[in-house]
Amino acid sequence: MTGFKLKEDKYETENKSIRFPVPLIEKIENFIEGKATNFSSFVIQACEYALDNMEDDNMEKSNNNNK
């Protein structure tokens, strides 16, 4: 996965319940094992990364439509 780097940022948080497929939980837990992060931090960073890249994709599509 290019460009995705784990950070140790701390944020003000709010509790949300979300259901993950068990195989996805296992993949995430295996990936973060031995790294300086936890499950919640990984999910937050992965969501931020996905949103940032979707915004870029949407901007590119919008720019291409305006040509």
List, for residues 40-51, the tens digit of each pLDDT value.
999 999 998 999
| Residue 63 counted as domain residue | yes
* Domain boundaries, position 49: 38-67
Domain count, the chain: 1
48 in a structural domain: yes
Query: Dihedrals φ, ψ of 8, to 5°?
Result: -110, 35
Q: Which one, of 58, 18, 59, lies nearest residue 39 by Cα?
A: 18
How far is CA 22 from its chain centroid? 18
Residue with the larger pLDDT of the pair 39 and 58: 39
Q: Is residue 49 part of a domain?
A: yes
Mean pLDDT of 12-37: 94
55 φ/ψ angles, rounded to the nearest 5 degrees: -60, -45
CA dist 59 and 64 (Å) reads 9
Q: What is the pTM of this model?
A: 0.65
Q: Which residue has the higher pLDDT, 19 or 55?
A: 19
Structural domain contains residue 24: no
21, 46, 50 from 3: Cα distances, Å: 25, 11, 11
Q: What percentage of the chain carries pLDDT values higher than 70?
A: 69
